[in-house]
Amino acid sequence: MRDLGPPPDAAPPCPQGQIENAAGECILAHWVFEAEDEAMVHETGERAPDGWRARQGWHRGDKHLLAGPYFAGIPAGRYLAAYHLRWEREGGGNSERRVAALVVNNFDGCNGQGMYFCPVSIVYELRRRHFDRENQVQVVTVPFEQQAEGHHLEFRVLWDGIDELFVDRVEVRPL
Ligand SMILES: [Ca+2]
């Protein structure tokens, strides 16, 4: 019996670490969005080496420390957004105190319902207890779904204005 192989119209699978995009091309399945990149938007905080930070008394709270970069090249699918963050306690309160909210947003909106905002992740309430220790960059992951390639994604960090927070970058990989 002859081995006929795969049918001729079957696309070969992408190599390890790559993913097929809407055009049928294999692309690297790993994206790095630096907080200090000029495509990013900041409503509060200041530039710091390798990222962006906000401090109580210096910067306004309840503002976005990070938003953007409105990147549309991630194929449809489920992913993890890994936020690289550094935290330092400044105010009173216990370990339940919220430091920031993290949300992955589809900036194109939800099927024409509303403009600019359509969360494609849970809204992750980042609390003090999520950090193992102060003054050390650590990773917090947020799962999200890219519903269709071409949607402009942004990775938001809404800073509460109490504890110091620094964001280095957000990395995205398939879930
Ligand atoms: Ca960085």
Residue 105 lies in a domain: yes
pLDDT tens for each residue of 66-123: 999 999 999 999 999 999 999 999 988 999 999 999 999 999 988 766 678 899 999 9
**Which domain, by its residues, includes 88?**
30-174
Residue 45 lies in a domain: yes
Residue 97 lies in a domain: yes
CB 159 within 8 A of CB 54: yes
**Of the candidates 81, 67, 59, 68, the residue with the CA atom closest to the CA atom of residue 163:** 59
pLDDT tens for each residue of 18-68: 999 999 999 999 999 999 999 999 999 999 999 999 999 999 999 999 999
User: Strands, DSSP E only, in 73-146?
Assistant: 77-88, 98-106, 124-127, 138-146
- ∠ CA 116-81-140 to the nearest 5 degrees? 120
Q: How far is the CA of 86 from the centre of ligand 1 (A)?
A: 11
Residue 82 lies in a domain: yes
d(CA 175, CA 171): 12
Residue 119, domain CATH: 2.60.120.260
Q: How far is the CA of 175 from the centre of ligand 1 (A)?
A: 22
Q: How far is the CA of 169 from the centre of ligand 1 (A)?
A: 5
Q: How far is the CA of 65 from the centre of ligand 1 (A)?
A: 13
